[in-house]
Homo-oligomer: A and B are copies of this chain.
Amino acid sequence: MRNLTEENVTEAVLEQIRAKDPRTQQIVTSLIKHLHAFVREVEPTELEWFKGIEFLTRTGHITDEKRQEFILLSDTLGVTILVDAINHRKEEGKTESTVFGPFWVPNALEMENGAHIDRGPENERGAPAVVRGRITDMNGKPIAGAKIDVWQASDDGFYDVQDSNQPEMNLRGIFTSGQNGGYWFRTIRPEAYPIPDDGPVGDMLKATGRHPYRPAHIHFMISAPGYEKLITHIFVEGDKYLESDAVFGVKDSLVVDFKANTSKEEAAGYGFTKTPFYEVEFDFSLKEA
């Protein structure tokens, strides 16, 4: 088309899209329609448009092997949780999923049930906690041999990969459910922490009056042959950021009580030297694949 106007430009662009692959055709067509609708709605000045270009450029330049600012942007705009919700629709009896986040790493240590995933020196540990529960199918039937990959931040709010003071593979572990579907491990009670906010995403949060905090949580990725993989968190009831998670990951069904137990004897039974320690029970139910 050689006479493009404000009125016909969207149609003219769409006419040029002739992908062989129908899914590519669908995605690119929809992207162009919605992108143009956004531009038509806000009518950016040329300076605003250029600031958008600069924002994306900075987001690309700060991204490296250790930091994925585009995922963070997707998270903080609620896109990641929306994609998660679409791909793992809620079903009665199935544990809800939530965002994967950027901090999982492959090949965490395989551990026996009951192991402590904090591998740092005793005195660096936060409030001790015991997490236990069962892996079942959607009817409550135990699943033995499920792999339960767990990861969380330290009480300072950093994952091992962000923090050279932590030993490698700290606060991570892979557990296997027993004959009755049971699992358990020892850890520290997680704390709320800010997502990295010294880059463009942090600037966006500030400009829109938002804080960068995520409520305290422990990540789980649970897989068993014949079942859909479940990626989720458990959140600590009472955390002040449950209502305003910077990445919109909170679901009521995933918020659990971390119950304080002040018994020195019971603490000692778990090898804990501090009280109170915290007890958590959470069962996960998987959907057949």
A2 / chain B contacts, CB cutoff of 8 Å: 242-243, 245, 250-252, 255
For residue A245, give the distance in angstroms from its CB to the closest CB of chain B: 8
Closest to A11 in B: B78
Spot the interface stretch: A28-36, A137-145, A171-179.
A28-36
Q: Is A46 an interface residue (CB 8 A)?
A: yes
Complex copy number for this chain: 2
CB-contact partner of A60 in B35, B46, B59, under 8 A: B59
Count class of interface residues, chain A: 35 or more
In whole angstroms, what is the CA distance A209 to B25 when docked?
10
Known contacts: A60-B60, A251-B2. The answer to whether A26 contacts B42 by CB under 8 A is yes
Interface segment out of the listed A81-89, A103-111, A217-225, A277-285? A81-89
Residues in B with CB closer than 8 Å to A30 are 38, 41-42
Across the interface, A3 reaches (CB within 8 A) one of B3, B60, B208, B251, namely B251
> Chain A interface (Cβ within 8 Å of chain B)?
1-6, 9-10, 12-13, 16-21, 24-28, 30-46, 48-49, 53, 56-57, 59-61, 63, 68, 70-71, 74, 77-87, 89-90, 204, 207-210, 242-245, 248-252, 255
